[in-house]
Amino acid sequence: MLKTILNVIFICLLLVGGINIIGSVLVLMDVPFFTRWDDWTKHTDEKSLEMIRDGFVFILLGAIYLKYIAPKFSKNQPKPPQYTKCPKCKEVFNYKELINGKCKNCKEVDTINIEEYFKKYPTELQDKNE
């Protein structure tokens, strides 16, 4: 819920930033730009430049949020296993390279998420460490 609200706020920020820049550039070029809440043709050049600067700041903030902060919210969702191990041939695979998690060598054998695997066969982990 919080994530949705934040997303909307920052997407609005990106849009407002874009409108600021486009509108101000048009006004600087003597092309009238009107919005519902303000008549931008009355802006001085100085004000237009300020709005362009603000526009870039808004876009930068929005971009930082979407790139670095928004992905953190989805961090708690369960991730698909990355590495899996075949209980038969003991081969470790990257899960993405397998079809339905089946072992490439043994065909019909299901591989097991590496963390699950060592919970199931803790002795193998000990063998490895020794």
For Zn ion, the binding residues (CB under 5 A) are 86, 88-89, 103, 105-106
Cβ atoms of 24 and 48 within 8 Å: the answer is yes
- For residues 70 and 106, which CB has a smaller minimum distance to Zn ion in the complex? 106
Minimum CB separation from Zn ion for residue 106, in Å? 3
The C-alpha atoms of residue 114 and residue 25 are separated, in whole angstroms, by: 56
- For residues 89 and 125, which CB has a smaller minimum distance to Zn ion in the complex? 89
- The C-alpha torsion from 65 through 77 and 5 to 71, rounded to 10°, is 10
- At position 40, the amino acid (one-letter code) is W
- For residues 65 and 102, which CB has a smaller minimum distance to Zn ion in the complex? 102
Minimum CB separation from Zn ion for residue 86, in Å? 3
Minimum CB separation from Zn ion for residue 79, in Å? 23
Angle at 82 between CA 78 and CA 85, to 5 degrees: 120
